[in-house]
Amino acid sequence: MNHFDSQYISDLLFCAIHGAGIIFFLATGLYMLLVKRSIFNDNPQRQQLRHDVGVSFLCWSASYCCSLLITLLFGDNQQYTSHLSLLVDFALCAPTSMQMVYSITNRSETRYFLLLPNVIIGILSVALYIILENVMVVYVAVVYWDAMILFFLFIFIKQTKSYREYVLSEYSDLTNRDVLWLIHAVWFVAFYGFLYVASRLLHSTYILMFAYVLTWIVMAYFVYYIENLKPISEALRNDISASEKEIPTAELAGLDLLLRTECEEKMLFLQTDLTIANLADAIGSNRTYLWKHLSQKGLNFNTYINSLRIKYAKNLLQKTPNLTTKELAKSCGFGSESAFRRVFVDLCGCSISQFCAQIHNSGVQ
């Protein structure tokens, strides 16, 4: 294959990838903005999240359009094309992408901090490069955006872990509520950012196309997960603030007895979607006192309820070892089999099959 044929194939792939990217992000962005889901009608935070995802995806689609247009107009000058496309993509995608992910942890107050200054910086960098055609503008912009990505990673991971503590203090079932996956997703976004910058600075079409395709896969999963996230109670944050106030010792002292008689003996922990508010109502207390009581014991609500469920599961396995994992998970109040397996390993230090083998071996002996 001669150089002309390989260049033709490379150009064809470049156009095809950009065309597919434009369609994917445009269609997904419009879906998130225009298609209303009744499940989120009473949840403004989720509505805002879908809005931010939609805006971000439309910006990604616009960046694909700009990149394709720049290539068609200035394709003869590969360096100028790569550098200008890089700056345009940064200006369009970086601020809205950061805001999109921040929305998941309710950080709506960061909206203008993230968007306005970075949009202005992005526009200025593009304008400066067009006027001066100086590669130093690109290098300074790359250093700035890389620093922003690292800063964003540090702050976001810290906030996500803190947000997850809130969720663990509120819910017994984390199915479609756990946000730990977001940390992995953001690490990928950072990896994509560095890979994308490298492809532009090295003028490598194939690295660029690999980064694009990988991004579609991750973003499709991202949208799927966002659409299936269960609403998180906003009252939880108020509980954390309220817990800083002094709570009568007598109120806390009686909670051990209430939990033992009302929760453990009546097996309220077997309710699949039990929340701290539900349990507090059932035992005649309030969620703030219960949260404080568990915190003083070094527990969160999720760990407390799941420890009771696993204890119940171990008793069931000893009495009826022929139960399937799915049946066992349902009987013990877990929302999914995978969640049951994960919690069992975390609390028991062995898998369900290993525990069953231990029961069998002790019976044989």
Query: Which pLDDT does position 65 carry in this prediction?
Result: 92
Spatial distance between the Cα atoms of 165 and 244, rounded to a whole number of angstroms: 16
Q: Which two tokens stand for residue 218?
A: 């991750």
Alpha carbons within 13 angstroms on the beta-carbon side of residue 108 total: 10
- Quick check: helix, strand or coil at residue 171? strand
Alpha carbons within 13 angstroms on the beta-carbon side of residue 128 total: 16
Question: Environment class of residue 340 by beta-carbon count within 10 Å: exposed (0-12), middle (13-18) or buried (19+)?
Answer: buried
Question: What does the angle CA 124 – CA 206 – CA 211 come to, to the nearest 5 degrees?
Answer: 60
- Quick check: helix, strand or coil at residue 334? coil
Residues paired with 275 in a beta bridge? 171
Question: What does the angle CA 92 – CA 97 – CA 103 come to, to the nearest 5 degrees?
Answer: 140
Give residue 233's pLDDT band: very low, low, confident or very high (50, 70, 90): low
Q: Mean pLDDT throughout 255-259?
A: 81
Q: Mean pLDDT throughout 74-78?
A: 79
Q: What is the pLDDT of residues 79-136, one digit of tens each?
A: 888 888 888 888 888 777 777 766 665 554 455 556 677 788 888 999 998 898 888 9
Q: Which two tokens stand for residue 330?
A: 């349902």
Question: What does the angle CA 12 – CA 15 – CA 20 come to, to the nearest 5 degrees?
Answer: 125
Give residue 365's pLDDT band: very low, low, confident or very high (50, 70, 90): very low
Look up residue 304 and give its amino acid.
Y
Evaluate if residue 272 carries a pLDDT over 90: no
DSSP for residue 261: I
Domains of the chain: residue spans and CATH: 3-228 (1.20.1070), 247-364 (1.10.10.60)
Q: What is the pLDDT of residues 299-325, one digit of tens each?
A: 888 899 999 999 999 998 888 877 888
Spatial distance between the Cα atoms of 193 and 208, rounded to a whole number of angstroms: 11
* Number of Cβ within a 10 Å radius of residue 197: 20
Q: Which residue, chain included where needed, has tokens 């694909």? A: 64
Q: Which two tokens stand for residue 339?
A: 């969640």
Which comes out higher in pLDDT, residue 173 or 139? 139
CA distance to 51, 87, 296, 338, per residue, from 141 (Å): 28, 7, 49, 44
Which among 145, 132, 138 is positioned nearest to 95, based on CA atoms?
A: 145
Evaluate if residue 364 carries a pLDDT over 70: no
* Number of Cβ within a 10 Å radius of residue 143: 10
pTM, two decimal places: 0.75
Contact in structure between 291 and 169 (CB atoms under 8 Å): yes
Distance of CA 171 to the CA centre of its chain: 17
Mean pLDDT score of the chain:
79
Look up residue 180 and give its amino acid.
L
